[in-house]
Amino acid sequence: MRRPAVAGAFYAASPEQLKKQIIDSFNHRLGAGRLPEHQSKRDILGVICPHAGYMYSGPAASHSYLALGEQTPPKTVVIIGPNHTGWGTPISIMSEGKWVTPLGEVSIDSELAEKIIDYSHTAKSDESAFIREHSIEVQLPFLQFIYPEFKFVPICMGYQDLDVSEELGKAIFEASKDKEIVVIASTDLNHQESKQTSNKKDKYVIDAIKTLDEKQLQESVKKHHITTCGYGPVSTTMVYSKLYGATKGEVLSYYTSGDITGDNYAVVGYASAKITRN
């Protein structure tokens, strides 16, 4: 049983306040503008979501969760986040148990988790990477808000280079062929530079998302010194989606923390995007 590490910090610790925080994120001037209302056939393969405190990135995240919430729910959600703590193996998967949030418990899809490990050369079953990691945890309350029931597989990437991302994306694809899943890539964009600089750097990442070009993404991050923390999860999700024939991503929202606080001196970029079947 994994208990929340960042409840009361990144998001509210009480169920009532957390639900209000999520609703306020949807209704925020930078949010999706409404709550999910109707459900259509699911064609979303993956989404890209930020993982900062809800007051900063919640409105951006709401765009991805509106898109997911208006399609039929998957059985399992694979959430891939970067490793901020340095704990655990290079690619860590928690393969059994439950995670707790203020909105209740979510069970891990042990069967799928073990399959991904079997298909991957780098992924290992390891709980230590998740003890204090926030990038995956902050996605769960939004998912609990839009889905009445689901299981999930948490994957934490300490290694994010292209070879590892390609291998992991293929492993998820092979392991989930008989499953109804959606993949979430958890990432913030450039960190702690001026809004003007971050806008320029974030555009390289956004352009790569639009074209689903994981090589361009990885090269841009290195060449332009972009501090996008989850470029590996994004690359992995691109690889997975393209194996289903996806050819482009749709950016749903982009802004920086400066658009929330008014402080444009040192900002963090946030984007939401979706990748659909052709």
Each of the 278 residues of the chain gets a pLDDT tens digit; together they read 999 999 999 999 999 999 999 999 999 999 999 999 988 889 999 999 999 999 999 999 999 999 999 999 999 999 999 999 999 999 999 999 999 999 999 999 999 999 999 999 999 999 999 999 999 999 999 999 999 999 999 999 999 999 999 999 999 999 999 999 999 999 999 999 999 999 999 999 999 999 999 999 999 999 999 999 999 999 999 999 999 999 999 999 999 999 999 999 999 999 999 999 98
Token pair 């490793």: residue: 83
Residues contacting residue 178 through CB under 8 Å, at least 6 positions apart: none
The alpha helices in the chain, defined as continuous H runs, are 15-27, 54-69, 110-119, 139-146, 162-175, 195-211, 214-223, 231-242, 258-261
* Residue 101 contacts residue 7 (beta carbons within 8 Å): yes
What domains can be seen in the chain, in order of their start residue?
A: 15-276 (3.40.830.10)
C-alpha–C-alpha distance, residues 234 and 49, integer Å: 9
CA 169, CA 175: separation in Å to the nearest integer?
Answer: 10
DSSP string, 208-261: HHHHT-HHHHHHHHHHTT---TTHHHHHHHHHHHHTTT---EEEEEEEETHHHH
pTM, whole model, 2 decimals?
A: 0.97
Angle, alpha carbons 201-162-184 (nearest 5°): 75
> Would you state the pLDDT for residue 278?
81
Q: Return the structure tokens found at 180.
A: 């109804």
Residue showing tokens 């899809």: 109
Backbone angles phi, psi at 156, to 5 degrees: -115, 120
Q: Is 114 helix (H, G, I), strand (E, B) or coil?
A: helix
